[in-house]
Structure 1
Amino acid sequence: MPPSTAPDARDIRRWRGYLADERAERQVYAELARRRTGEDREILLALAEAERRHEQHWVDLLGERAEPAPRPSLDVRLLGTLARRFGSVFALALMQRAEARSPYAADAHATEQMAADEQIHGEVVRGLAARGRRQLAGSFRAAVFGANDGLVSNLALVTGIGAVTQEPAIVLATGIAGLLSGALSMGAGEYVSVRSQRELLGASRPDHRSVDVIDDLDLNTNELALVFRARGLTPDEAEARAGALISDRESRSAGLLGGIDTSADAGVDPDEAVGSAWSAAISSFLFFGGGALIPVLPFLFGMVGLPAIAVSLALVGVALLLSGALVGIMSGASPGKRALRQLAIGFGAAGATYLLGRLFGATMG
């Protein structure tokens, strides 16, 4: 139960902040539910109702001090904007992080039930976001990898060449060549990689034509049980499953792996697991090209020497921070930490190449 002492000004400010965030999060869930159907819609509406209960708790504590309506925090307002404009996995990923950061467990004025609710809400949102993440996995991975590879590799290339020569035409030609060759290589590599992964996963899927020959097996129960044992069930579980399939013909329509949770990607739909090979290839090609263009821009506009390299570093730095933050949002982790990690890796590679360019340039001179 909350303490019975009268609240001070800090308590009031904190409660009003909680109230504002609860209201905004309820609206986010309601907006996301409006864009969904079926089970997802019901789940999101249930989350919105839970946030309404939490909102009412702070209204009761604040009384007349609940008005005028407080303004929610910046990150919660961003959630609302994303939900209204996109209604996508980005909003769910941010909501997952928001629920995980709930301060209720350490606040004596919040109930234990509210703290438990927020923890479970995080798991619910994680499950909803996981569906979208699986659908985006192949193309998103290719896009992020392509953009960052284009940024870092071409930044390293132009800074290394820029350390050797002051001729902007040479640096520009090198950067454009790196852009085109890298984009084509990345696109082709992603196509082959995703296509090969889909084929490997497809090879692990059961051949459902095997169901048609079950009645012709010699020692049908024992032979069929081997299928389930090979997929990870214990001997007793495999025997029970095989017997059920043999005695109930209708259950065979679910396939040999219906209801089995395997640990080796068996039964995983390759399209959902790794995405489309063409989609990954096109995403990689376009994003590598876009990323590789950024370091070249100063030279494209006639800048030379250290000023061009400095502007190139600044542009790439901003792009690396944005891409790192995006990865953080999608993974439900800290956008700031992911952004700084991306920046450190990119600038580390570029700095090493620049120093090598200066070394080789001095040696050649």
Structure 2
Amino acid sequence: MIPYGRQDITQADVDAVISVLQSDFLTQGPMVPRFEQLVAEQVGARHALAVNSATSALHIACLALGLGPGDYLWTTPITFVASANCGLYCGATVDFVDIDPRTYNLCATALAAKLEVAEREGRLPKIVVAVHLCGQPCEMVAIHALGRRYGFKIIEDASHAVGGRYQGASIGSGAYSDITVFSFHPVKIITTAEGGMAVTNDDDLAARMALLRSHGITRDPQQMVGDSHGPWYYQQIDLGFNYRMTELQAALGISQLARLDDYVARRHQLASRYDEHLASLSVTTPWQHADSYSGLHLYVIRVQEEKIGRSHRSVFESLREQGIGVNLHYIPVHTQPYYVQMGFVASDYPQAMAYYREAISLPMFQTMTEVQQDEVIAALIEAIRP
């Protein structure tokens, strides 16, 4: 089976992890702050906070921005459930904005229209989570302008987009958002096994997230209530969580980060080759915005059922039967049973549903060979044959 995604672990990665195992620190040592510093430098942000998953990063980002009961968080229905669940964790109400049919990202035009209605009804969002699906950034200039007009905060869910750029700047630089979140899950562009990162240019947000990721505990006398009792003393000053990243994960991340640019460049080579070989087939290949450089975490095609005379499901199943580990990113969040219980129905977001009926994620990973890619292409040709 050729998987849709796969980590690349080199001897250098193994050696980096072993060196931590042989050191004095397995957690809360020098590797985590070093990884944070390198990521901050890579993306051009003032602060980077490492955590144990991108889901955790989204959660503390929402809390740091003051999201709570009575507030609204809006995001896209075409994303992993964590992009929405982070609002529920804070007691907020979650809603969705339909997608752009070209980029599959949250549609800035649909967002503007929904904001006009929400303003009249007194239910404007406190936070909008803009998800850079497949690695292609959202229209952040337009979303940022709407944020300034309507007063909402912006989180970029860049779980797919580390190593990408928007208008010449690295995704994560923070020009158009308050906080950006990255994922380092094994199928992502670089990995720490599990892990995530929240980056920001705001000193106060960084301090708040640092507190929340570690039980709400501080050893800083300036943050404490009353006097310190001695050098052993710490205080819990907020209700935080155990969301810390380990030294082992950070060491792996540092090693992987050195290859980030090469990894993304290789993904672009593979995507270009897919574009060329699939151009004559009855599938829609990804459209890339001219002002961005995608991280290309995923390569998603859309099956043109009316042309091939076969269903989306049959094409998907044929590819799996031929040993191609395709996937579908993502089932629209609003159709999940948990969200249906809240009152959402499939027809609420027609562009998202149209995407779901046609989308297939083809294998895309940095160590993929052209021989493997040729197998995928041949299998796709077979799968869509009438």
- The TM-score, its normalising length taken from structure 2, stands at 0.21
Higher strand share: 2
- Structure with greater Cα Rg: 1
Higher helix fraction (1 or 2): 1
TM-score w.r.t. the length of structure 1 is: 0.22
